[in-house]
Amino acid sequence: MAIVSRKVSDLSGQEGTDAEFATVVVRQHPSIDQPKALDVLAIEAEQFKEIGDLVVIEVTMPNGSRKDVAMKRADFDKLAPNMDEVLKAARGTRGRVPGTRIGNG
Protein backbone atom coordinates (compact mmCIF):
# COMPACT_ATOMS: atom_id res chain seq x y z
CA MET A 1 0.00 0.00 0.00
CA ALA A 2 1.24 3.50 -0.83
CA ILE A 3 0.08 6.97 0.08
CA VAL A 4 -0.21 9.20 -2.95
CA SER A 5 -0.22 12.94 -2.58
CA ARG A 6 -1.43 15.19 -5.37
CA LYS A 7 -1.58 18.93 -5.68
CA VAL A 8 -4.52 20.68 -7.31
CA SER A 9 -5.16 24.33 -8.07
CA ASP A 10 -7.53 26.13 -5.72
CA LEU A 11 -8.80 28.08 -8.75
CA SER A 12 -9.36 25.41 -11.40
CA GLY A 13 -8.96 22.08 -9.66
CA GLN A 14 -6.29 21.10 -12.21
CA GLU A 15 -3.55 18.82 -10.98
CA GLY A 16 0.16 19.57 -11.29
CA THR A 17 3.59 18.97 -9.80
CA ASP A 18 5.04 21.10 -7.00
CA ALA A 19 7.31 22.82 -9.53
CA GLU A 20 4.24 24.03 -11.45
CA PHE A 21 2.60 25.81 -8.51
CA ALA A 22 2.71 29.34 -7.18
CA THR A 23 1.29 30.61 -3.90
CA VAL A 24 -1.02 33.61 -3.97
CA VAL A 25 -1.78 35.38 -0.68
CA VAL A 26 -5.06 37.29 -0.64
CA ARG A 27 -4.43 40.02 1.93
CA GLN A 28 -7.74 41.85 1.70
CA HIS A 29 -11.13 40.85 0.30
CA PRO A 30 -14.65 41.58 1.55
CA SER A 31 -15.25 37.86 2.17
CA ILE A 32 -12.30 37.31 4.53
CA ASP A 33 -11.15 38.74 7.85
CA GLN A 34 -7.54 37.55 7.62
CA PRO A 35 -5.07 36.79 4.80
CA LYS A 36 -5.62 33.51 2.94
CA ALA A 37 -3.15 31.49 0.79
CA LEU A 38 -4.15 29.88 -2.50
CA ASP A 39 -2.21 27.24 -4.41
CA VAL A 40 -2.47 28.03 -8.12
CA LEU A 41 -0.73 26.80 -11.21
CA ALA A 42 1.95 29.25 -12.33
CA ILE A 43 0.16 29.72 -15.63
CA GLU A 44 -3.00 30.72 -13.70
CA ALA A 45 -0.99 33.23 -11.66
CA GLU A 46 -0.19 35.05 -14.89
CA GLN A 47 -3.87 36.09 -15.02
CA PHE A 48 -3.32 38.47 -12.09
CA LYS A 49 -2.64 41.85 -13.67
CA GLU A 50 -1.24 44.89 -11.92
CA ILE A 51 -3.19 48.11 -12.29
CA GLY A 52 -0.18 50.40 -11.91
CA ASP A 53 0.80 52.72 -9.09
CA LEU A 54 -1.64 52.50 -6.21
CA VAL A 55 -2.26 54.85 -3.35
CA VAL A 56 -3.78 53.26 -0.24
CA ILE A 57 -5.47 55.67 2.13
CA GLU A 58 -7.34 55.37 5.40
CA VAL A 59 -10.35 57.63 5.78
CA THR A 60 -11.68 58.38 9.27
CA MET A 61 -15.03 60.15 9.32
CA PRO A 62 -16.20 62.55 12.06
CA ASN A 63 -18.37 59.79 13.56
CA GLY A 64 -15.26 57.59 13.99
CA SER A 65 -16.06 55.14 11.19
CA ARG A 66 -12.97 54.15 9.25
CA LYS A 67 -12.36 52.62 5.84
CA ASP A 68 -9.35 51.78 3.70
CA VAL A 69 -9.41 52.91 0.08
CA ALA A 70 -7.08 51.81 -2.73
CA MET A 71 -7.05 53.99 -5.81
CA LYS A 72 -4.89 54.63 -8.82
CA ARG A 73 -2.21 57.23 -8.19
CA ALA A 74 -3.30 59.23 -11.25
CA ASP A 75 -6.81 59.58 -9.79
CA PHE A 76 -5.45 60.50 -6.34
CA ASP A 77 -3.09 63.11 -7.79
CA LYS A 78 -6.03 64.81 -9.55
CA LEU A 79 -7.57 65.67 -6.16
CA ALA A 80 -5.14 68.59 -5.76
CA PRO A 81 -3.32 70.56 -8.47
CA ASN A 82 0.02 70.08 -6.66
CA MET A 83 -0.41 66.77 -4.79
CA ASP A 84 3.34 66.13 -4.40
CA GLU A 85 3.74 69.43 -2.54
CA VAL A 86 0.55 68.84 -0.52
CA LEU A 87 1.95 65.49 0.65
CA LYS A 88 5.40 66.92 1.45
CA ALA A 89 3.82 69.66 3.60
CA ALA A 90 1.35 67.35 5.37
CA ARG A 91 1.89 66.43 9.01
CA GLY A 92 3.19 62.97 9.81
CA THR A 93 1.19 60.40 11.71
CA ARG A 94 3.93 60.03 14.33
CA GLY A 95 5.91 62.48 16.36
CA ARG A 96 5.60 66.25 16.57
CA VAL A 97 3.63 68.56 14.34
CA PRO A 98 5.99 70.31 11.86
CA GLY A 99 7.20 73.67 13.16
CA THR A 100 7.01 72.82 16.87
CA ARG A 101 10.05 73.56 19.02
CA ILE A 102 11.50 71.80 22.00
CA GLY A 103 12.42 73.81 25.08
CA ASN A 104 11.99 77.53 25.77
CA GLY A 105 12.67 78.66 22.37
What mean pLDDT do residues 34-39 have?
Answer: 95
Q: What is the pLDDT of residue 5?
A: 84
Task: Judge whether residue 25 has pLDDT over 90.
Answer: yes
d(CA 36, CA 27): 7
d(CA 78, CA 37): 35
What mean pLDDT do residues 87-93 have?
Answer: 91
Residue 48 and residue 24 in contact, taking contact as beta carbons nearer than 8 Å: yes
- pTM of the predicted protein model: 0.61
d(CA 36, CA 20): 20
Give residue-wise pLDDT tens across range 39-57: 999 999 999 988 889 999 9
Q: In this predicted model, which residue has the larger pLDDT, 29 or 86?
A: 86
